[in-house]
Chain A
């Protein structure tokens, strides 16, 4: 045990980022069948199209119907082509919102899995209102009258992650990160030197522990030694254990209380003097 403790303490944020970017890092496609049953994927935003970077649908968790919304990292070139390396377009966020509204109507909790380098930056994304799509999700999830639980599986990149991150409880896998911009982008903007990625990564406070300390996350889900890729089944069990506890807690709450707590969770984040 003492050995394990020391090992964890030695891991730098940059080391964790390498674990998260490992080519065998499990994705939502690995976890889905291990955590949910009777899953049906639902496609499309009913406005423009279907975005492969975000999957959504209904299934059962321990027998209870739930809505699942997730950013999709590909496990190979083919999957990544379909999922655009988990960088959603506006229609992805709008699909997520459509399915969240559906969950609200049918009184199902929403479970979001965050795993993205960020929202896609491109001409089509701008034309179809990337900013508006993310903004709308932030506003609508804040007032969604059903429990929302979010879990960061790998990279939680900026607004593209936050669009699935307005929730009652946020958990992070042990090695996952959550950041305002990639460490590379941070170094490039603030120091005009993208090669200082590692240094940026280590001061940005992007780890699961940092997110808890900053009041952004409530829980850390343990990963097997060396990272989730060494044992996806155990990782899935750990995710299930967290979900069961969290859902039980949130479902039991009066909805007005839940919404006030959700609002205040974000309301109190910020450090200033007057």
Chain B
């Protein structure tokens, strides 16, 4: 239980450009600037803090690689469908070029990484969306890999944990992108009918078509503190109502208050929480003293 010690993760934090800024002093080391509280800190300190803002506790965006490193038992992760890459279903101009540029930039084939692992020894299937790849928008590949994860969880009788993050639909795939919402939700429904455990962990930002599909369908929905979770874009709503929205609108805490999140869990407690929840859902566990004595 106490093994949630900091792991030294070698991969560098690969934040959004607006989260990075040159520090004012002469050293000009890149600094993390928190989008919630605007404080600055060094990336080394941030990494030691599991990429959580030391001032306000905002759980910043991390790569799938870093998520695996802080979530899965060391060396336990086995990736599935690694080389899956999108085609261009509506022949959107230069979509292939955009995809290959993102692949070069991120080292990822697509916006979700799926596989199996153990967490404190508990075997499970896991999927992690990476917002650094086209804001983890959902196109054919995200839809297919997530659907396969649901189907495998049912076949292998294993729990499924999905860390969600997404800007919404992959516009460049048009209607095909929209249909991934139905495809993934249908697969989630089938896993549920098969009695499988599905846990979603909402990370920054979970919005649009992903919120309106599999992210909202977990048996248990966990959110990281202060992350953005919602359906419609903030600016779209502000445009409709012609006024500014409060800071905490569409935060994890807002979603909890309105009844759409089961619990908010700090990153440092995430491994332990997931392992405990998986254990609590093992079939036919009886009261200890009743099975002993009778």
Which A residues fall within an 8 A CB radius of B?
A: 119, 121-123, 125-132, 134-136, 138-140, 142-143, 158-159, 162, 165-166, 178-181, 186, 189-190, 203-206, 210-211, 214, 216, 262-263, 266-267, 269-274
Contacts and interface: CB of A to CB of B under 8 A. Distances in A.
Given A136-B216, A136-B217, A263 B176 contact: no
A262 B241 CA distance: 39
Chain A at the B interface: mostly helix, strand, loop or mixed?
helix
Given A181-B169, A266-B183, A122 B240 contact: yes
Pairs of residues from A and B, 10 with the lowest C-beta to C-beta distance, nearest first: A131-B211, A121-B232, A138-B185, A270-B140, A142-B186, A131-B231, A135-B216, A139-B189, A271-B87, A134-B212
A143 B144 CA distance: 19
Contacts of A266: 179, 182-183, 186
Nearest to A270: B140
Nearest to B255: A129
Given A122-B232, A271-B140, 18 more contacts: A121-B233, A130-B212, A131-B230, A131-B231, A132-B260, A135-B216, A139-B189, A158-B178, A166-B185, A179-B178, A180-B169, A205-B175, A216-B179, A269-B143, A270-B139, A270-B144, A273-B85, A274-B81
Interface string B238-278: 00110001000110000000111000000000000000000
Contact of B237 (A123, A134, A165, A210): A123
Most B C-beta atoms less than 10 A away, residue of A131, A132, A263: A131
A205 B171 CA distance: 12
Nearest to A159: B212
B171 A181 contact: yes
B216 A131 contact: yes
Given A266-B182, A271-B176, A274-B83, A131 B171 contact: no
Given A135-B213, A139-B188, A271-B176, A189 B171 contact: yes
B196 interface: no
Nearest to B183: A266
B179 A271 contact: no
Interface stretch (B21-29, B69-77, B88-96): B88-96
A272 B178 contact: no
14 contacts: A129-B260, A130-B231, A130-B232, A134-B181, A139-B217, A142-B189, A158-B178, A178-B175, A180-B169, A190-B171, A214-B179, A269-B143, A271-B89, A274-B85
A139 B92 CA distance: 29
B193 A269 contact: no
B190 A143 contact: yes
Most B C-beta atoms less than 10 A away, residue of A211, A214, A271: A271
Contacts of A132: 211, 216, 260
A123 B91 CA distance: 36
Contact of B171 (A143, A165, A180, A272): A180
Contacts of A135: 181, 185, 211-217
Contacts of B230: 126, 131
B280 interface: no
Contacts of B93: 203
Given A131-B231, A135-B215, A204-B174, A272 B237 contact: no
Chain B at the A interface: mostly helix, strand, loop or mixed?
helix
A129 B217 CA distance: 12
Nearest to A186: B171
Contacts of A272: 84-87, 140-141, 144
Interface of B: 81, 83-93, 139-141, 143-144, 147, 169, 171-183, 185-190, 192-193, 208-209, 211-217, 230-233, 236-237, 240-241, 245, 249-250, 258-260
A135 B230 CA distance: 12
Nearest to B258: A127
A205 B258 CA distance: 37
A270 B212 contact: no
B212 A123 contact: no
Nearest to B189: A139
B185 A210 contact: no
B82 to A, nearest CB: 9
Contact of B178 (A130, A131, A162): A162
Contact of A273 (B84, B90, B180, B233): B84
B245 A123 contact: yes
A12 B232 CA distance: 30
A191 to B, nearest CB: 10
Contacts of B83: 274
Contacts of A134: 181, 212-213, 231
Contacts of B231: 119, 121, 125-126, 130-131, 134, 159
A126 B232 contact: yes
A211 B175 contact: yes
A269 B185 contact: no
A178 B182 CA distance: 14
Contacts of A143: 186, 189-190, 193
Most B C-beta atoms less than 10 A away, residue of A181, A190, A206, A266: A266
Given A266-B183, A272-B85, A272-B140, A126 B215 contact: no
